[in-house]
Chain A
Amino acid sequence: MRNRFLQDKRFLTSSILLAALCVLALIAPIAAPYSYDAVGVGPNLAPPSPQFWMGTDVLGRDLMSRILFGARVSLAVGFCTAAFSLVLGTITGAVAGYFGGRTDRVLMTVVDVFSIFPMLLLAILVSLVLGRGFAGIFLSIGLTTWVTQARLVRALVLQARELPYVEAGRAIGLSHPSILFKHILPNLLGPMVVSLTFQIPNNILTESFLSFTGLGLQPPYASWGTLANEGFRGLLSYPHLMIFPGLALFITMIGFHFLGDSLRDILDPKSSIGSHTHS
């Protein structure tokens, strides 16, 4: 198993890339040449130059510093919302799949209701109630994406509960929670990890959509989506303001995409279903 990780070039390249991104985000205060909200460190709307590698924005703020700080927001949203949907989705899906019958029907109806709720609308409503901040974004993405995880885990548990080791567990008198959480779920870790590596980038992308529509964090805080939104107004004259945040997002997406692909081949050779998402 360990060898398969080390031999897979896609896995190595993409995990090094993503690790580097996370480190850059963590050390943003040290790595960034300027502060993200320092106004007028350079001329306004300057194109990329040796001093300002990615140019400056309308208030003369250094774009590269803003993108480095934006990485913290974008990555944090991606990881936190994925963790939220992992926990909520796994518990719901596992319980529904394992117990079946009425429990299954009730839980899956809840899942259906959530999956039909238009995310944009939910995001707007949540941001109205909670205000436009991290909590609002987190909740609106989390509440619309956990259903995917719930459906996946339910399908996996449905298959697993018919297997001999589960029957053996029942025969020696293990309790249901112990069979489900100590025996079945650890066996499903592979597909769950794979689905998580597809969920994180999707959520990052979704956050960028929300911020792009003006529903995200408020200035001076910035995620990549907010930055692109600021750049969008001057698209034709100052394309660098939109291209660099977009590129940052693109590189992150590529990293997660290949990480997910390689993990799927390593951990879950049976499935071949790709990254299908909304957003």
Chain B
Amino acid sequence: MDDIEALYRQRHDSVLVPLAVRLESYLRDQLRSATRIDRVAARAKSVHRFVAKAKKQVADKPKYTHPLSQIQDQVGARVIVFYLQDVGVVSKMVDDYFRKIESRILVPESESEFGYFGKHFVLFFPSELFDAELPADNAPKFFELQIKTLYQHAWAEANHDLAYKPGEELTADQKRKIAFTAAQSWGADQIFSELFSQLSAGHVEAAAVEPTSPLASWRTTFCSPPRPG
């Protein structure tokens, strides 16, 4: 494992860090025509996190026999968009301009669990990013791309920071609180999405119409009516 750490450290410093800088700039350029992007970021996986992942065991055997080839998020990129509709817009652009080996929507494992994640891709690095200074031979073939709304991003970051402390098990009450924040983020995205659809279609008056969708009913039940004046 020491070998892997040294090998990865070498790759991290000489290849992954400059590659992430190039990828971020490339993504910005490719997604330039998408209007509601809050931010685009790419980063190289830290040596510490890579080694921890490479050491994972499944049934008392190493999960990865060749971590440098098998771990596909050595460079990870993230595109944060405003609304749920924008996830679709950016996903379409990614489908058009990148070759993928994986594309999925990250969802909780069961309906009764809460979590709020976003869209995930594993993509080939585009050939443009390589040259004599940064040859493709020493680089991984893939990078991971996540597309999230602002609320998905906010929830995932806070959840990761609070809910995954090593050696600390959450109490039932703390789990309920995490689930509550996930549901609230989900609800905020749904409502922004509805508002965006209504307002961009010029149906401002739709807000005054009797709600019919389950979400609209939920809003009627649980949200206070606007104060007059």
Is the pairing of A and B real?
no
B residues near A, CB below 8 A? none
